Structure 1
């Protein structure tokens, strides 16, 4: 994953690539993007809750396919006996 850091005169800029341990779910579903539009997500991955993965980051899946982050949603269970994680929806 290469985190999105902003736009420049030459297009989107990304930080250094990092490897993220995660559970990958290759399931197509409709989700809402940050701007409220409905878009089709082709995959979702679940990572540790402290993972930093801003919208528009570039992700390379194990298959080699490159995709983009639609949204990263913190699922913090707090004191409940449930797993806390970061849900990352991909184009």
Structure 2
């Protein structure tokens, strides 16, 4: 079971992180995705294990391609970076599968 589309009330733009070049971060082409955005401060761990402050959390469908360090534009126009990405599933239970992105 996937997170119901009617709960995903926002639209965010995701530019998936593709690696590094001589000029800095490289991103794949941007795409829009339906999401539920919560703008609140939470302590979380980055992909390197450092404790950091997340200022926004984005919940989307479970098939989102958004590795850590991806660039995300929130509904208010603020550009942020994905700190960590979690895929939530519960096979056999009546809860929806989703992807949660903790943003800088």
1:86 and 2:86 aligned = no
Which position in structure 1 is the counterpart of 2:7?
none
Any runs of at least 4 consecutive aligned residues in structure 1 with deviations exceeding 2 A, and if so which? none
- Map 1:45-84 onto structure 2 (within 5 A): 45-84=58-97
Unaligned runs of 5+ in 2: 1-13
Quote how far apart the aligned CAs of 1:6 are.
0.2
1:11 to 21, 24, 29: 24
Quote how far apart the aligned CAs of 1:60 are.
0.6
Count matched residues. 91
Name the TM-score, length of structure 2 as normaliser.
0.85
2:48 to 29, 35, 40: 35
Unaligned runs of 5+ in 1: none
